[in-house]
Amino acid sequence: AIQEQVLKDKSRLVLLRGGNQIGKTMVGAFETICHCLGTHPNKPVPPPPIEAWVICHSWEQSRTIMGKFHELVPKHGLHPDVEFVQGKGYRGTGAPVVRWKNGSLVRFKTTNQGTLGLASGSVNFIWVDEPPPPMIFGELKSRITRTKGRMLFTMTPIGAPVGYLKEMVKDGVISEHVGVMNVANTTPKGCKAMMSEEEIEALRMSYLAIDRDARMSGDWDGGVPEGRIFDKFSDDMISDLTPNPNREYIWTIGIDHGHDIASQVALLCAVDVTDRS
């Protein structure tokens, strides 16, 4: 499966670009843990102690990431001072910190902190969950330069600046793996399938056309052409009737901004008010 391919990749900059719910977070958490322990089933890693960073989009998102991270952590390897609170994550001064008995550290940070919050120091491994802005990437890259460390990106390219990452993949600077939402990529090794082909197809059709390809296949460009949100409209649904010049109309535009990125809908309406009382 795609997850094992990523874990075997020895490149310094690795990108797992894929659909929602294919296990990208678990890959990032496992890779971070292996670096902190100094043991990896697929490639050599530096001996501990090391420092690793986990970069999330926001503190709200980091709580979810910390929860999944803690599920995988071998608890016997943690320092006795480590405190994890369900629903809140790890405690720490300034930022959540995970300390290991072998001296390794994991610091959870967010891109909302800006470059200042990510400046100074050298680290051995950085896992970035979701694509960061270009300036943030530059700051992070400088953190692993002296240590010759690694950086792993796990992302679904929706609502974020990804053009620079796409170019770096094209130029061979970043080693890319693409995880499509299918039965193989959603089935843990040695386990029964978690989703059937029918369930995956039903999930695919439940997404809006504008971001369906991104959510299912990690597609760079996402949805349907021309920026349309829905894909079920056809030309015969467009009226070419000329308004009756003897009638009175009010023209109005109704806009629903929606709750998610690219979920806006705008309708141009002609209301016949000739017979209003």
Residues 12-38: what's their mean pLDDT? 94
Residues 221-244: what's their mean pLDDT? 62
| Residue appearing with tokens 């959510």 | 215
CB 54 within 8 A of CB 118: no
| HSE (side-chain half, CA atoms, 13 Å) at 205 | 6
CB 97 within 8 A of CB 106: yes
In whole angstroms, give the CA distance from residue 151 to residue 15: 9
Q: How far is CA 183 from the centre of its chain?
A: 20
Q: Which residue has the higher pLDDT, 130 or 182?
A: 182
| HSE (side-chain half, CA atoms, 13 Å) at 127 | 28
pLDDT band at 162; cut points 50, 70, 90: confident
Instruction: Examine the pLDDT at 161 and tell me if it is beyond 80.
Output: no
Coil/strand/helix, residue 264: coil
In whole angstroms, give the CA distance from residue 92 to residue 83: 9
pLDDT at position 234: 64
pLDDT band at 259; cut points 50, 70, 90: low
pLDDT at position 224: 47
Q: Which residue has the higher pLDDT, 142 or 205?
A: 142
| Residue appearing with tokens 């971070």 | 32
pTM: 0.79
Residues 180-197: what's their mean pLDDT? 88
Please provide the average confidence, as pLDDT, over all residues in the chain.
Answer: 86
Task: Render the burial of 9-24: b for 16+ CB within 10 Å, e for the rest.
Answer: beebbbbbbbbebbbb
The lowest-confidence range among 98-112, 122-136, 221-235 is 221-235
Instruction: Examine the pLDDT at 113 and tell me if it is beyond 90.
Output: no
Closest residue by Cα to residue 122 from 149, 104, 94: 149
pLDDT at position 129: 92
Q: What is the per-residue DSSP string for 179-204?
A: E--STGGGS-TTS--SS-HHHHHHHH
pLDDT digits (tens, 9 = 90+) for 200-226: 999 888 887 778 888 898 888 754 444
pLDDT band at 258; cut points 50, 70, 90: low
Q: What is the per-residue DSSP string for 101-166?
A: TTS-EEEEEEGGGHHHHT-S---SEEEEESPPPHHHHHHHHHHTTTTT-EEEEEE--SSS--HHHH
CB count within 10 Å of CB 109 equals 21
Residues 33-52: what's their mean pLDDT? 96
pLDDT digits (tens, 9 = 90+) for 58-102: 889 999 999 999 999 999 999 999 999 998 999 877 789 999 999
pLDDT band at 158; cut points 50, 70, 90: confident
